[in-house]
Amino acid sequence: MSIVPEPLTQFPWRVLAILVAIAGFGTLVLYSAATGSLTPWALNQGVRFVIFSGMALVLSLIPLETFARLAFPAYVVVLGALIIVEFIGGVAGGSQRWINLGFMQLQPSEFMKPVIVLAVARFYALLPVGEIRRWSAIWPALVLIGVPWALVLIQPDLGTATMIAAGGVTVMFLAGLPLRLFVGSGLTLAAIIPIAFSFLHDYQKNRVLIFLDPESDPLGAGYHISQSKIAIGSGGIWGKGFLKGTQSHLDYLPEGHTDFVFATMAEEWGLMGGVFLIGAFLLLFRWGIGVSLHAHDKYARLVAAGLTTTIFFYVAINLMMVMGLAPVVGIPLPFMSYGGSSMLTVMLCIGIIMAIERSIRRNGQRRGNWG
């Protein structure tokens, strides 16, 4: 026993420090994006961060068994919401994503990102060890992933659909399915991409084509990527300085406070800001993977690593998009992009991983399988 009281050592200082660093930086960037004003973004975002952090801490107190038991019911609820969206959802930006609940706009596909991880992990935790190399270990997981993926894709929301599939497949990978299945389907996927391309919506096709050559349409759909690269590129190593970004302040950079907030940041803070931010995110992932490696329980391991990877996909897809390495798919940058939905989702992930970390401490000696 150390001299520090147990509740304090139990408190997840390390991860909270990382989160505060990222979110604090994000709030600063939003303050600048509003040309040096707390409203309309920075203050909201800060308050939201505090509230959602509290929520994550509360989640971390919930026993892991509860998450395990709720995995399938939650999956069914979110899937139901996705189906409802299909019929009565609001249309935004050419796709159907929202249910208007009156007091807030609900985006069920957002919740599917962590829930798919919980559900697939639950499935493999329940699966008897010997079954892992059978067909019965594969198809239920594929159905679990495939149904919401298809529902989100026809909204259409390519970015979220990709993240749902990637989150689920990551868990399948971690669950111990034979490697060649992944290699084989990877190759198959590469072969059918050109065919799938022809089924995309026109605006999606455009985005892909323009991603391949943004300068072909610098004033139209390629405008986002072009202006984003200009913002990042003109920032240089040290940036133009706080509140001195021109791309964002003069409105050349579209979505400078949401999807392209990284460009806003990079213009003012330069490569150094980018290194800091990416470094902080990597520390967060290292923490998440570390938790999963230390977990004794199969479900806990899969969930921790799966949720970490979900957060990773947010960051990676967003940054690749902002830097012109991926098409514009509308994935926000966690804690940086203004918006409640994504922060809520990511905080759910963090809260659950914290709960796993807590359970590791608590049940250090005991080994078990809640399946």
Partner 1 sequence: MKLPKLKRKTVNEAALSFTFTRRAMVLGGLQAGIGAMLIGRMAWISVAENEKYNLLSESNRVNLTLIPPRRGWILDRNGRPLANNRTDFRVDLIPERVTDPEGTIAKLTKLLTLTPEDGERIRTELEKSAGFRPVQVAEKLTYDQFAAVSVRLPDLPGVAPSQGFSRYYPTGATVGHLLGYVGAASAKDYEERKDPLLITPGFKVGKEGLEKWFDLQLTGKPGAKRVEVTARGKIVRELTTRPDAPGNPITLTIDGGLQDYAGRRLGAESGSCIVLDCLTGEILCMASMPAYDPNNFSDGISHDEWNMLSSDERHPLINKSLNALYPPGSTFKPMVAMALQSAGINPKERVHCPGGYRLGNRFFRCLGRHGSVDMHRAIAKSCNTYFYTMGNRVGIDVIAQMGHAMGFGEKFDLPVTSQSYGTMPDTAWKMRRYDQKWTASDTLNASIGQGYVVVNPLQLAVMAGRIASGRNIQPRLVKGRYPEAPFMPFPKEHFDTVRAGMWEVVNGDGTAGRSRLDVPGIQMGGKTGTAQVRKIAGSQRGQSGEWKYRDHGLFVCFAPTSNPRYAASVVIEHGMGGSRAAAPVAKDVLTYLFDPAKAMERLTELEKGWGGPPAERMARQMAAYRLAKAIEKGKAPPPATSAPTEATNSAAASNAAIPPPANPAAEIEASPPAHRRPEGGR
Yes or no: say if 94 and 203 are a contact pair by the CB < 8 Å rule: yes
Q: Which is nearer to partner 1, 98 or 123 (CB)?
A: 123
Q: How far is the CB of 360 from partner 1 (least distance, A)?
A: 14
Which positions ≥6 away from 90 have C-beta within 8 Å? 96, 97, 98, 99, 100, 105
Q: Which is nearer to partner 1, 166 or 348 (CB)?
A: 166
Q: How far is the CB of 340 from partner 1 (least distance, A)?
A: 26
Q: How far is the CB of 168 from partner 1 (least distance, A)?
A: 14
Q: How far is the CB of 241 from partner 1 (least distance, A)?
A: 14
* Size of the chain in residues: 371
Q: How far is the CB of 218 from partner 1 (least distance, A)?
A: 10
Yes or no: say if 211 and 223 are a contact pair by the CB < 8 Å rule: no
Nearest to 225 by CA among 352, 324, 325: 324
Yes or no: say if 4 and 220 are a contact pair by the CB < 8 Å rule: no
Q: Which is nearer to partner 1, 48 or 257 (CB)?
A: 257
Q: How far is the CB of 309 from partner 1 (least distance, A)?
A: 6
| Rounded Cα gap, residues 229 and 234, in angstroms | 8
Yes or no: say if 330 and 317 are a contact pair by the CB < 8 Å rule: no
**Residue numbers at the binding site for partner 1 (CB under 8 A):** 129-130, 132-136, 170, 173-176, 178, 227, 229-237, 246-247, 250-252, 266, 270-271, 274-275, 278-279, 281-282, 285-286, 289, 292-293, 298, 301-302, 305, 309, 312, 316, 319-320, 323-325
CA geometry: angle at 207 spanning 169 and 256, to 5°?
A: 95
Q: Which is nearer to partner 1, 8 or 179 (CB)?
A: 179
Q: Where are the alpha helices (DSSP H) in the chain?
A: 6-10, 13-33, 42-61, 64-88, 108-126, 139-153, 158-174, 179-197, 202-212, 223-235, 246-249, 261-294, 298-322, 340-362
